[in-house]
Amino acid sequence: MVKISPSILSADLANLKEEVLKLEKGGADYIHLDVMDGIFVPNITFGAPLIKKLRPITQIPFDVHLMIDRPERYIKDFVEAGADLITIHAESTLHLHRTIEEVKSYGVRVGVALNPATPLGNIEYVLDYIDLVLIMTVNPGFGGQKFITSMKDKIKRMRKIIDERNLNILIQADGGIKLDNAKEIIDCGLDIIVVGSDIFKSNDVVERTKMFKNL
């Protein structure tokens, strides 16, 4: 069964405690935390201090997605804030392997994200060192975008590579995933889906989360 990682980027930021508790009640497997710096992506969201405040509220693992330039500068901050999984972008750091190793040195799981136009080959030589590949299915920086259909093929190719090499790596997709297209995207070979606006813009966050869990 696919796991769900709701992104609080689309949540009511003035009532985050209540929103997180709704996700817990709905059975969310992770809480997806989109950190944006206004440099690597055009938008600015939040940082380690907010994550640290949220950490005592729930035991759900924190899936921290760093859409920031040179993330190696802040790895320790996000670990100390309570991240369980830290995903960095292959495009955001000059020394990807070194940054991966730094995350692992803290005993935290590590993922690598790829923007839609970034080839899978860019991470060929780090696959043995990571726990997750995040396929961006929209261009990062904003919530509520439309799913890029060509990313289904990219997910399928990533699944084939992982299976052929017998790697223990999860595949996650983020962007434009809604209840009416989630099943066909999951069937491309996903382990985890990130969902934002389609959960938080609904009338009942708990029930909507459960609906995704039952796909």
* Tens digit of pLDDT at every position of the chain (215 positions): 899 999 999 999 999 999 999 999 999 999 999 999 999 999 999 999 999 999 999 999 999 999 999 999 999 999 999 999 999 999 999 999 999 999 999 999 999 999 999 999 999 999 999 999 999 999 988 777 899 999 999 999 999 999 999 999 999 999 999 999 999 999 999 999 999 999 999 999 999 999 999 98
- 84 catalytic per annotation: no
The pLDDT value recorded for residue 112 is 98
Q: Is 63 a catalytic site residue?
A: no
| Span 127-153, pLDDT tens digits | 999 999 999 999 988 777 899 999 999
Which domains are seen in the chain, by residue range? Answer: 3-213 (3.20.20.70)
Closest CA to 131 of 153, 93, 103, 151: 103
Of the residues 29, 37, 63, 174, only one is catalytic, namely 174
Where does the chain have alpha helices with state H? 16-26, 48-54, 75-81, 96-105, 151-164, 182-186, 197-200, 205-213
Beta bridge partners of residue 196, listed in sequence order: none
The residue annotated as part of the active site, out of 29, 34, 63, 131, is 34
Beta-strand pair 3-6/31-36: unpaired
